[in-house]
């Protein structure tokens, strides 16, 4: 059973608690909202930590970040330096190329690994072929209800953004996790389209790629997680799956 330290005790942490079962032991936890941390620690019997330094000192091998981009920026490098591998959900932090390069360097210097789960999309495994072959088109088309994009209600489906992932991150910083994860997997910056559609209730992510391998088109329709409508349930399931498979000697998928 893998022993983890939980950074962030919100919705995803709650799903790891309720569905992690016998595959995950939550050894310690920290959340900047102390009541959340205390309640989570009581329920899971994890050690309570009143700050990040205390969390990183505890005995476990893997830090699971399910907190925020700021938490990644503030704490990930320290965790790697202190001998922890890490799972990073708030992958938007890696849109900062210099932060990513420095973090990679620290992980390598300390013999540590950083795991980015597939999160809210399917297809992230095989899109990695773009690292070894030519891919001439990679598009991410995301459709959300207008409110989820922070814009006024519209009567019909409208495209609110079309451009590079880098530009998308500047204009819509709350919608960056998927585009950053896709760009990291492929090592190619995707073209991004964001659509507001009053008729949808769930978030839809469409990935289209063409290259020497042929072409692919994948649509993921996400249901929201019970504890946080902004987070897709699939993202939480994908972390659980990653944790379950970490110590399996048979690795399936690219």
Ligand X SMILES: NC(=O)c1ccc[n+]([C@@H]2O[C@H](COP(=O)([O-])OP(=O)(O)OC[C@H]3O[C@@H](n4cnc5c(N)ncnc54)[C@H](O)[C@@H]3O)[C@@H](O)[C@H]2O)c1
Q: Which residues are catalytic?
A: 205
Query: Taking CB positions, which residue lies at the least distance from ligand X?
Result: 10
Our CB check for ligand X shows the closer of 34 and 136 to be 34
Long-range contacts of 25-32 (CB under 8 A, 24+ apart): 25/1, 25/60, 27/3, 27/58, 27/59, 27/60, 28/55, 28/58, 28/60, 29/5, 29/55, 30/5, 30/6, 30/54, 30/55, 31/7, 31/67, 32/67
- Which residues within the stretch 24-83 sit at the binding site for ligand X (CB under 6 A)? 30-33, 36, 66-68, 70-71, 74
Nearer to ligand X, 172 or 211 (CB): 172
Stretch that binds ligand X, among 5-13, 76-84, 145-153, 205-213 (CB under 6 A): 5-13
Sign of the dihedral defined by the CA atoms of residues 7, 104, 139, 240, in that order: negative
Q: How far is the CB of 127 from ligand X (least distance, A)?
A: 14
β partners of residue 2:
24
Backbone φ/ψ region at 183: left (φ over 0), alpha (ψ -120 to 50), beta: alpha
Task: Check binding of 11 to ligand X (CB under 6 A).
Answer: yes
Q: State the binding string over 94-133 for ligand X (x if CB under 6 A, else -).
A: -------------------------xx-------------
**Total number of residues that touch ligand X (CB under 6 A):** 29
Site string for ligand X, 185-214 (x = CB under 6 A): ------------------------------
Strands 62-65 and 24-30: unpaired
The span of 130-138, 184-192, 227-235, 241-249 binding ligand X (CB under 6 A) equals: 227-235
10 Å CB burial of residue 48 (0-12, 13-18, 19+) is middle
Other beta carbons within 10 Å of 57: 12
Rank residues 129 and 179 by Cβ distance to ligand X and give the closer one: 179
Centroid of chain to Cα 133: 25
- We find the least distance from the C-beta atom of residue 147 to ligand X, in angstroms, to be 17
Identify which of residues 128 and 154 has a Cβ nearer to ligand X in the complex: 128
Give yes or no for residue 148 binding ligand X (CB under 6 A): no
Closest CA to 54 of 89, 79, 87: 79
Residues near ligand X (CB under 6 A) are: 8-12, 30-33, 36, 66-68, 70-71, 74, 89-91, 119-120, 177-178, 181, 227-228, 231-232, 235
């Amino acid at each position: 059973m893998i022993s983890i330290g939980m950074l962030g005790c919100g919705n995803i942490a709650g799903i790891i608690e309720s569905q992690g079962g016998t595959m995950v032991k939550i050894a310690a936890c920290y959340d900047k909202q102390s009541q959340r941390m205390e309640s989570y620690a009581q329920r899971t019997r994890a050690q309570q930590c009143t700050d990040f330094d205390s969390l990183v000192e505890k005995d476990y091998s893997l830090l699971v970040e399910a907190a925020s981009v700021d938490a990644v920026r503030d704490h990930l490098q320290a965790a790697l330096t202190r001998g922890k591998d890490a799972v990073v959900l708030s992958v938007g932090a890696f849109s900062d190329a210099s932060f990513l390069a420095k973090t990679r360097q620290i992980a390598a210097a300390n013999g540590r690994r950083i795991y980015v789960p597939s999160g809210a999309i399917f297809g992230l495994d095989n899109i990695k072929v773009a690292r070894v072959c030519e891919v001439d088109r990679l598009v991410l088309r995301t459709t959300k209800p207008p409110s989820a994009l922070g814009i006024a209600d519209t009567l019909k489906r409208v495209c609110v953004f079309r451009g590079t992932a880098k530009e998308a991150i500047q204009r819509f910083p709350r919608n960056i996790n998927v585009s950053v994860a896709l760009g990291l997997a492929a090592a190619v910056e995707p073209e991004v389209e964001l659509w507001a559609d009053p008729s949808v209730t769930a978030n839809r992510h469409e990935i289209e790629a063409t290259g020497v391998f042929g072409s692919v088109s994948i649509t993921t329709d996400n249901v929201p997680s019970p504890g946080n409508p902004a987070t897709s349930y699939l993202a939480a399931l994908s972390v659980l799956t990653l944790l379950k498979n970490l110590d399996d000697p048979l690795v399936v998928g690219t």
